[in-house]
Amino acid sequence: MAIPIILDCDPGTDDAFAVLLALASPEIEVLAITVAGGNVGLECTLPNVLALVALAGADVPVYAGADRPLLGAFVNETRVHGVDGLGGVALPAGGEPADGVAADVIRRVLREARRNVTLVGIAPATNLALALITEPALAEKVERIVLMTGAWAEGNATPAAEFNAFNDPEALAVLFACGRPVVLATLELTAQALCTPAHLARFRAAGTGRCMRALCDIQATVPLGPRFAGAGSALHDPCAIAWLIRPELFTTRDCTVTMDLGPGPSRGRTVIDRWRRTGAPFNATVLETLDPDGFFSLLGERLARLP
C-alpha cells in the first residue's frame, strides 16, 4: 500500500526534483503539497510548485503556507536557486492554489486520515510546526516526520547551521519534541547525492519528457561551488523522498538531536549526538550513508516516467 504523505516544500531547485520524484513514485500517495517561503519568497515558491504539479500532469492540491519563520528574520538562498527559485527556467504557469492555509490543511488531513500520515519536510519547518503546536493531539496521526535538514558537522547557511534549520530553528525544535519518529537527511547525507554534469547527461539520455528536460535545465543553473571543488552540487531534498521509496539504499543511526536556539553564531545548529555522549533518549534517526548509484538510478528511472 502506498505511503500517504503531506509534502511541505519551498522550490527551490532541489525541491523541484523531490516534488517530481514523489509524484512519479507509486510507493507514495501525495495527499497534499504545502508551501513555505524559504529558498525564495512564498510569492515564488507557491507558483513554482503549482507549475511543477501541472508539468507532471498530477492532480494534487497545493496550499500556501507561512512566508516567514516563527521568530527571527526570513533569509533566502537566491545565490543557489536564482531569484525565482528555479534558476530562471520559466515553466508554463500552473493552476491555482487550493483554498486553505497550510497549517490548517495539515491538521485537517491528519484529523480525517484513516491511516497515519507521514509528514515530509524539505523547507523551513514552519508549516509543520504550526500544525502540530495548534493541535498537539494530532501527532498521534503522524506516522513519522521525514526531514531534509540539519548537519552533524558544518552548516551551509552559516558555519554552524543548515539552511532549513537556520531559517526556522524554533519550528524544528517543535518537531523534535512532538513525540513522533523523526528521520533526518542531513547535509552529510545529501553530500553523497552529489549531482555532476555526467549525471545530468545520463538523465537527459534516460528521458525526453518535459519534466526531465525542465529538471535538467534547472539543475544546470545551480552554481558548482567550492564545497565540492566544482565537481557538482548536492541534490538535498530528493534524498528524503528516496528514503521513503528505497530505504535499503541508506544506512541509519538513532541519535539525540538538540536545537541551538540561541542568538549567537550557532543559532539553528542541529547538535547531533551520534555516539551517545549525552545519554539522552533518542529523538531522531539520522540517515548516514547513501548508495549514490542506486539513488541516481532510482531518480533517473522515476523521472523518466513523467510526461
Residues within the interface to ligand BDR (CB under 6 A): 12, 14-15, 39, 77, 80, 122, 148, 156, 162-164, 236-237
The verdict on 12 binding Ca ion (CB under 5 A) reads yes
The verdict on 122 binding Ca ion (CB under 5 A) reads yes
Say how far apart CA 211 and CA 190 lie, in whole Å: 22
236 among known catalytic residues: yes
Of residues 141, 180, 236, 302, which has the active-site annotation? 236
Helix extents (H) in 113-182: 126-134, 163-167, 169-176
Say how far apart CA 127 and CA 106 lie, in whole Å: 8
**Pair type for strands 250-259 and 233-234:** unpaired
The verdict on 168 binding Ca ion (CB under 5 A) reads no
The verdict on 8 binding Ca ion (CB under 5 A) reads no
Residue count at the site for Ca ion (CB under 5 A)? 6
Phi, psi of 184 (to 5 degrees): -115, 125
**Can you tell me which of 4, 7, 8, 15 binds Ca ion, judged by CB under 5 A?**
15
User: What's the alpha-carbon Rg for the chain, to the nearest Å?
Assistant: 18
Q: Which is nearer to ligand BDR, 138 or 299 (CB)?
A: 299
Q: At closest approach, how far in Å is the CB of 121 from Ca ion?
A: 9
Q: Which is nearer to ligand BDR, 40 or 64 (CB)?
A: 40
Considering only the stretches 48-56, 116-124, 125-133, 281-289, report the one whose residues sit in contact with Ca ion under the rule CB under 5 A: 116-124
> Using CB distances below 5 to 8 A depending on partner kind, what does residue 156 bind out of ligand BDR, Ca ion, none?
ligand BDR
DSSP for residue 98: P
Say how far apart CA 47 and CA 91 lie, in whole Å: 10
Q: At closest approach, how far in Å is the CB of 143 from ligand BDR?
A: 21
> Using CB distances below 5 to 8 A depending on partner kind, what does residue 188 bind out of Ca ion, ligand BDR, none?
none
The verdict on 46 binding Ca ion (CB under 5 A) reads no
Say how far apart CA 40 and CA 248 lie, in whole Å: 33
Q: At closest approach, how far in Å is the CB of 281 from ligand BDR?
A: 27
Q: At closest approach, how far in Å is the CB of 112 from ligand BDR?
A: 28
The sign of the dihedral angle between the CA atoms of 221, 237, 10, 80 is: negative
C-alpha cell recorded at residue 84: 525565482
DSSP for residue 121: E
Q: Which residues contact 49 (CB under 8 A, 6 or more apart)?
A: 9, 11, 19, 33, 35, 62, 94
Cite the active site residues.
236
